[in-house]
Amino acid sequence: MSILINSVIVIAIIGGAGFVLYRHLKKSSQGSCPACEYDCPAKQQLKKH
């Protein structure tokens, strides 16, 4: 029984990490900042150039 519980926990962790990685790569390929959603000073500098 404990093997089943441990397997479910490991699958949830790996699935969550995979989803975050996928979302990060998707945003970075679009050219948007994956770390933040607001108009930060770094984005303002990029818009000037």
The torsion angles phi and psi of 14, rounded to 5 degrees, stand at: -65, -40
pLDDT exceeds cutoff 70 at 26 = yes
Domains of the chain: which residue ranges? 2-48
Residue 39: predicted pLDDT: 67
The mean pLDDT of the chain is: 81
The set of residues, in sequence order, having a beta carbon less than 8 Å from that of 23 and lying 6+ positions away, is 34
* pTM of the shown model: 0.56
Sign of the CA dihedral 30, 36, 37, 42?
Answer: negative
33 close to 43: Cβ distance less than 8 angstroms:
yes
CA 35, 38, 41, 43 torsion: positive or negative? positive
Task: For residues 27-39, give the mean pLDDT.
Answer: 64
